[in-house]
Structure 1
């Protein structure tokens, strides 16, 4: 029996293409052929004093094809040790035999499938002519979200805000390229009114995006705030927007961006208009007018992991003979 292969972060970075992964996700969401049990969510302590970290266990399978499971930890204090907050591993198996096909570095997989999912949603919800983006957050997801959005919309100007201005300046220099210029900003409200797309990827417990600042036609992509007591947008932002989610159950129950305004009565459940599978299957058209403010809230879905794992495994299988397969 063949030993399972090991797919590294370096391999993923070198062979990933957003346009390819986004289309695979579009097809998978539309077909809804993958079984997704409820994911397991546990809080634990990185120290003995406080339960400040999270363990996620995310299984998924398609009968007769693939079975996968992802283990992810989210440790907000990792930045103090210069480590990404999200750590993870993915196990891809043959659903017919249970044989392990691949062990995949889960942190890179998670970043790229998360960004690809945001871009997939933006392909239905953002202004087709959107050429500007405000990225709120300077963590490991920020470069991926910028690149993913720029793969579905003609982004030319990117503004980057982070709690550490020096980090924002450094990252802006690293990310500027021939397609788009990245400019650091010290205040969110200095540019938020003039951009077409706003993407947030933070671990903030307090709103960073205020509805008073949102302008007609903007698209708001909320990626952080993965717990019911965390939020990146305020009540007014949610009230003003046409709301879409990756999945109803996950986004409504797990993130404070929707859970809190629903509990307060600011919005009602029927104001969450569609989940991503309905957009991809053509059951909802997405953006309804040029002036509409759209909001997409994601918390992650195991279908995305399985699709990404298949994608990277197929990349491995189709490499030219002699090309190195394992990175650092």
Structure 2
């Protein structure tokens, strides 16, 4: 029977400790290389729009696809710019088993992937988290990072001070010691983990202001034209990615310093498969600066959807 999962059910059903472990296991297994997401122009001149498809499968077990529409002009009408839906199918029969709110699933699995990387790359004693960006993903990133590190303080910076204050208040009500900050440079000087989720096209994080031992988590920039760090930041850090294929196609934070001749792809230390399988040790010392760049991969959606639907199936009456 086809089951629909609302956003509230996704958030309630995918707690971060179990979801992070599920992603770790999915990346550890590796398996077939998944297609990089495909983007199609489906809009008009007056109302441009794109359709994105992200399929993934584990033969004999599960297969699924996320459908995402992006219509930038929707904001003028008070409508969401991005809408998405996830369809999960039984891998043995091909029958549809679940339809899942795509935004909630994406937020949870994206934050969990960042926390999985942090488990390998941030210092175990990391206690101060800096959030750059105040969008819908930000509170998920805070919760996920807190699930893997003993975070005692969350600093919040955004271009609009009021939104940073609102987010800090939301996090405080969730039990976190959260404070809005006016100076990004001062916040960088005290952060152990920097998690950045924006749509910026200009650097927000300067390499010269990163202190030794910091872990940088770059989530937001997901096209070659976007970036959240300058060239110096990438050159100073040991760089890790979610997948090589996705990062080298879409990550502006890496592609732009490559185009400038400042950095090259051979300097990527490892991806999440290598970290999760133990093929790469991750952080090597307390003093090195690490950087994780994610652009998202469909295997994360499949692992999260399978965990959610599997829990529901196991709870169903005989």
The superposition leaves residues 198-243 of structure 1 with CA deviations (integer Å, 9 ceiling, x where unpaired) of 0010011111111111010000000011110110000010010000
Give, in angstroms, the shift of residue 172 of structure 1.
0.8
Q: 1:227 and 2:223 equivalent?
A: yes
Describe the SS at the equivalent of 1:151.
helix
The farther-off stretch of 79-88 and 59-68 is 79-88
Give, in angstroms, the shift of residue 162 of structure 1.
1.3
Aligned to 2:133: 137
Describe the SS at the equivalent of 2:233.
helix
Map of 1:299-310 to 2, 5 A cutoff?
Answer: 299-310=295-306
Aligned to 1:89: 85
Q: 1:22 and 2:20 equivalent?
A: yes
Q: 1:8 and 2:6 equivalent?
A: yes
Q: 1:165 and 2:164 equivalent?
A: no
Describe the SS at the equivalent of 2:131.
strand
Aligned to 2:118: 122
Q: 1:208 and 2:204 equivalent?
A: yes
**Structure 1 gaps, min length 5:** 322-328
The farther-off stretch of 222-231 and 78-87 is 78-87
**Structure 2 gaps, min length 5:** none
Q: Is the 8 A contact 2:127 2:149 kept in 1?
A: yes
| RMSD (Å) for aligned C-alpha atoms | 1.9
TM-score (norm. length: structure 2) = 0.94
Give, in angstroms, the shift of residue 14 of structure 1.
2.0
Residues 320, 64 of structure 1: alpha-carbon distance in 2 compared, 3 angstrom cutoff: closer
The farther-off stretch of 261-270 and 238-247 is 261-270
Following the alignment from structure 1 to structure 2, what is the Cα–Cα distance between the partners of residues 59 and 89? 12
Aligned to 1:283: 279
Residues 56, 179 of structure 1: alpha-carbon distance in 2 compared, 3 angstrom cutoff: same
Residues 286, 75 of structure 1: alpha-carbon distance in 2 compared, 3 angstrom cutoff: farther
Q: 1:261 and 2:243 equivalent?
A: no
Q: Is the 8 A contact 1:44 1:55 kept in 2?
A: yes
Give, in angstroms, the shift of residue 37 of structure 1.
2.2
TM-score (norm. length: structure 1) = 0.91
Match of 1:33 among 10, 31, 34: 31
Aligned to 2:99: 103
Describe the SS at the equivalent of 2:159.
coil
Residues 75, 285 of structure 1: alpha-carbon distance in 2 compared, 3 angstrom cutoff: farther
Number of equivalences: 317
Q: Is the 8 A contact 1:156 1:179 kept in 2?
A: no
